[in-house]
């Protein structure tokens, strides 16, 4: 089903505008808390006696001090969750508008398959990708960050090769971005938020929060900061076809740029 051109263009514009702004909010929040946690950890190591770790900041004409607590006090907690949901949902809308309905998903020169099969393949990659990633993270391998990173990269290279040999080049790049976005949003809603709720419930019941839950939530959040850099690259790749998805070496280029994104994220996290 094809939408009228004017309707499709306006829907595309509005969805893209919303998606980019929601992504700014989500990514900004993620990296802000990553930076804040690192500074508070430094403060905690330098603290003497019973002094609480603090970070002082200046912004917009005011001075702010942030403390890190092990348990929540009797105050309203501000959750940061809808940024992830809205970014992912608007991304799905764009995926449907541009690729599922817009005809950009299939390239007969790559593989001549019907659109329904291509859509099923696209959805399957997102679902299976999350299941495999989550099972690996829940396994003992998930606690070895370096080994997990090596295996994850090898699997991603395989996924990239498969995508670029089934879908159109442009769709393959966006599909990988959609996969990263799905993993990140699912991390927030299916692993980080439930862990936080369990910790809060334990505190209210007079019990000590499970440190393993806190470590799990922190690790998932950390991985999100690494996935987001190559995800953003795939979002803008459609503007540079000859250098990216249009090249005969498109899968190699994307595989290399995933690593570049991870290295960049490592430096950003240390800033």
- Tell me the domain boundaries of the chain: 5-270
Position 74 confidence tier, pLDDT thresholds 50, 70, 90: low
Position 5 confidence tier, pLDDT thresholds 50, 70, 90: confident
135, pLDDT greater than 70: yes
Enumerate residues 6+ apart whose C-beta is below 8 A from 86.
Answer: 18, 22, 26
Position 106 confidence tier, pLDDT thresholds 50, 70, 90: very high
Residues 190 and 186: their CA atoms lie apart, in Å, by 5
Position 49 confidence tier, pLDDT thresholds 50, 70, 90: low
Lowest mean pLDDT among 32-36, 41-45, 158-162, 187-191: 41-45
At 7 the pLDDT is: 80
Position 259 confidence tier, pLDDT thresholds 50, 70, 90: very high
Q: How many residues does the chain have?
A: 271
Position 143 confidence tier, pLDDT thresholds 50, 70, 90: confident
Lowest mean pLDDT among 26-35, 103-112, 130-139, 186-195: 26-35
Give the residue from 258, 250, 101, 97 showing the smallest Cα distance to 162: 250
Percentage of the chain beyond pLDDT 70 is 96
CB 262 within 8 A of CB 256: no
Residues 104 and 101: their CA atoms lie apart, in Å, by 8
- CB-count exposure of residue 30 (10 Å: 0-12, 13-18, 19+): buried
Position 205 confidence tier, pLDDT thresholds 50, 70, 90: confident
Specify the higher pLDDT residue, 181 or 204. 181
Give the residue from 105, 148, 58 showing the smallest Cα distance to 238: 105
15, pLDDT greater than 80: yes
CB 32 within 8 A of CB 225: no
Position 53 confidence tier, pLDDT thresholds 50, 70, 90: confident
Whole-model pTM?
A: 0.90
Q: Which two tokens stand for residue 179?
A: 């996969």
């Amino acid at each position: 089903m094809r939408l009228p051109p004017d309707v499709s263009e306006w829907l595309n514009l509005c969805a893209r505008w919303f998606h980019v702004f929601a992504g700014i909010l989500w990514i900004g929040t993620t990296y802000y808390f990553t930076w804040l946690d690192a500074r508070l950890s430094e403060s905690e190591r330098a603290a003497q006696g019973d002094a609480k770790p603090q970070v002082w900041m200046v912004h917009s004409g005011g001075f702010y001090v942030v403390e890190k607590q092990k348990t929540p006090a009797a105050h309203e907690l501000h959750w940061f969750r809808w940024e992830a949901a809205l970014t992912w949902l608007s991304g799905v809308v764009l995926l449907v508008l541009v690729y599922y309905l817009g005809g950009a998903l299939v390239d007969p020169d790559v593989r001549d398959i019907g659109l329904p099969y291509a859509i099923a393949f696209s959805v399957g990659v997102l679902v299976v990708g999350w299941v495999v990633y989550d099972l690996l993270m829940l396994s003992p391998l998930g606690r070895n960050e370096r080994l997990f990173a090596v295996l994850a990269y090898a699997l991603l290279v395989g996924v990239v090769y498969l995508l670029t040999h089934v879908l159109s080049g442009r769709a393959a790049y966006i599909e990988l971005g959609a996969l990263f976005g799905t993993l990140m949003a699912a991390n927030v809603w299916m692993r980080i938020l439930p862990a936080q709720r369990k910790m809060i419930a334990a505190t209210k019941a007079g019990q000590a929060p499970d440190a393993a839950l806190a470590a799990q939530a922190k690790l998932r959040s950390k991985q999100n900061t690494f996935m987001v850099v190559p995800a953003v690259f795939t979002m803008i790749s459609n503007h540079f076809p000859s250098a990216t998805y249009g090249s005969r070496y498109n899968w190699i280029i994307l595989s290399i740029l995933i690593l570049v994104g991870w290295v960049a994220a490592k430096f950003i996290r240390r800033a």
